[in-house]
Amino acid sequence: MANTVDLHAAKLFDVKNYVCVVTGGGTGIGLMSAQALAANGAKVYITGRRLEALEKAAKSHHPHQGGQIIPLGPCDVTSKEDLGKLCDELASKEKHINLLVCAAGISGAKAEPTEEEATSLKDKLWNNETFEIWNQTYNTDVTSVYFTTVALLPLLQAGTESHGHLSASVIVISSMSGIMRDSQGHFSYNAAKGGTVHLTKLMSAEFQKVRIRVNSIAPGYFPSEMTAKESDDRMKSQLPDEKIQEKGHVPMGRAGHDEEMAQAVLFLTKCAYVNGEIIAVDGGVLNVVSGR
């Protein structure tokens, strides 16, 4: 039974001495996750395909005290060879990891299904999408999550052994798009994110055998290179309120803030009684747009 002093937020969400790995950690939600963890004492390795972006992110957002953000890579998470090298490098530096955040992802092709005549609808969808684009989107958003997690299972299990039962975990960044029925003109992306959601549930059930939790954050609109198409010199993106308001289905009327993503990441990192959950951090979109 906890004393009142044990319920102070600084203690509840303290990740001092945690070792974390964030894929896609140089920009967007991956970088937000890395910042949240490092700000609360963790050593955070970020990886991605662009070493320059990783180094710039680490330099721009390294905490003044406590934790660390350390670039590692480059690594293409759709390559078993790259993932193998990543694991070897991590194992040479650390005896365990406590958290893996799978944040790498791509958006795929876009084709709005607005036509009401079948031939026109077919032409738009047929000509704007390909098997190659669908496969690339699925490989990046689903398959890579599986193989990244599998590759790091031994280090994660060692993390549980160092901190207690089911303490080590994986946070998969899925999307509200994988829960809703609106295609948003992104059939390949939304279908892939639906796969990511279910993969989270599969891994959470199967990997509790090795005492590792798996949960997912399903974000709504957050500023990232995917949503804003660019980053600034600090590897941050901007998503103006009016861009969100013109969508007409976001009750909050704005994009999510870094602090709100940080709160979700820290909660799932520390609350060992949560396993297999998909937490939508979407500003209420799924109350407006139909879901499952």
Catalytic residues: 174, 189, 193
DSSP helix/strand/coil, 154? helix
Taking the C-alpha atoms of residue 275 and residue 49, their distance in angstroms, rounded to an integer, is 29
Chain centroid to CA 212? 17
68 bridge partner residues: 43
Q: Which two tokens stand for residue 87?
A: 């694991």
Taking the C-alpha atoms of residue 218 and residue 2, their distance in angstroms, rounded to an integer, is 31
Taking the C-alpha atoms of residue 245 and residue 252, their distance in angstroms, rounded to an integer, is 9
DSSP helix/strand/coil, 70? strand
Helix axes 80-93, 144-151, angle to 10 degrees: 30
Distances (CA, A) of 168 to 182, 186, 211, 275: 34, 33, 8, 11
Helix axes 80-93, 153-163, angle to 10 degrees: 30
Phi, psi of 217 (to 5 degrees): -100, 125
Phi, psi of 269 (to 5 degrees): -65, -40
Chain centroid to CA 217? 7
Cis (ω within 30 of 0) for the bond into 154? Answer: no
Q: What is the DSSP letter of 181?
A: S
Helix axes 144-151, 153-163, angle to 10 degrees: 50
